Amino acid sequence: MQLTSLVSFVALATVVSAVPAKERVGTIIPLTKRSTLVDQDGVVNIKSLRNQILRASSKLNRGFAAFEKNTGSFHPNDVRNITKRATGADPLTDDQEALWQGAISVGTPAKTFTVDFDTGSSDLFLPASNCAVNCAGHTLWTTGASSTSRNAGRSFSLAFGDGSTVSGTVFSDTVTVAGLTATSQAVGAATRYSTGFAKAEFPPDGLMGMAFPQISEFGANPVFQTLVAQGKTTVSEFAFKLATSGSELFLGGVNNNLFTGAFTQNRVTAVGFWQIALGSANVNGTPRVTGGQAIVDTGTTLLLGPQNAVTQFYAAIPGARDATNTVGSGFFTFPCNSLPPLSLTLGGRAFPISAASFNLGQLSAGSTTCVGGVAAVDFDNMWILGDVFLENVYTVFNTATQQVGFATLR
């Protein structure tokens, strides 16, 4: 496949390294994470792994299509039909599909919901009170019970690569995240969830996108950009810590207690997704793959890359094998107890990927072979930096300067 070039939407991949952190006063959303990627014996859930690739691929397709609808132009990395004021922080948890979730409230009077916070999409949707399919067990949004709810008069439908869909009607309402309140915010009231969003498969109630408005299916500002535009936060940054404990989303700056040293800033190269330049993917300190683009996505578990690049990466790991016949297309295995140092170079700085993050679990009970967290997809020159990478760094996103910064976790 060839990637379409669009100069007007591509900035030079300039990098500002070693930028000192500034003191911020922010608001915190605690995040939690729950995953079924492995069972009680540490064996990988192959179905969940395959769904991760399908969801990530379809997310890019949806984003590219929304970009074209909103701007009248192709996204510069559009790959069609991919098959493979105050500030605040919010604690996060991980749901069954290994996404990060926390609490928000919607409406007047306010009602609390749990949502996945997803930097790979831009819209907020919740299950509506008249949802007739697969919404049982979720907290439902009754638009008529909110005095600030308004029907926007248009429908929406989101399709996911694993067959999951969400459809309904777009409304506007008041949305509060960690004490920061956005008014007249676009919110999708879903009248239909597919099985992939049923409570057993998708524990949170809905999803809140945190990318740019250019890829909004609703053609509207995401919640954080609304907060900035309405002056509810004076700092156009939000930051994530994604780890086994103490995870959080910080709105309106950074939490200086969660990282050490300076940020390495990476300029967004195509506004839509949080897309930056990738320097290299390294094994044992040596670059094995150089160049390319990367989307920073809290809504993807794996670290995904082009087939040829990922194959080259694993070729440098002793004992690594193609796992197409055992796990699925794009996956590789490696000896569980023998893994060289791994890292990604972003903005001229190498950031390690821990063995604990990279090792998704045993291939079978008692096996000495494990499944690697870097997987191949049918992208040309495009990587997706999901949890396998992000749980090793503290990450800040700046909507005004259009940069993504990485720092060392404390």
Please choose, from the candidates 129, 138, 202, the residue with its C-alpha nearest in 3D space to the C-alpha of residue 168: 129
Token readout for 223 is 């919640």
95, 162, 297, 387: which one is catalytic?
Answer: 297
Token readout for 193 is 């969830």
Label residues 253-275 b or e (16+ Cβ within 10 Å = b): bbbbebbeebbbbbbbbbbbbbb
118, 123, 162, 173: which one is catalytic?
Answer: 118
Token readout for 1 is 């496949």
Beta bridge partners of 345: 280, 350
Based on the residue annotation, tell me whether 322 is a catalytic residue of this protein.
no
Please choose, from the candidates 294, 274, 284, the residue with its C-alpha nearest in 3D space to the C-alpha of residue 315: 284
Based on the residue annotation, tell me whether 118 is a catalytic residue of this protein.
yes
In DSSP notation, 251-298 reads: ESS--TTSEEEEEEEEE-SEETTEEEE--EEEETTEEEEE--EEEE-T
d(CA 185, CA 105): 12
- The catalytic residues are 118, 297
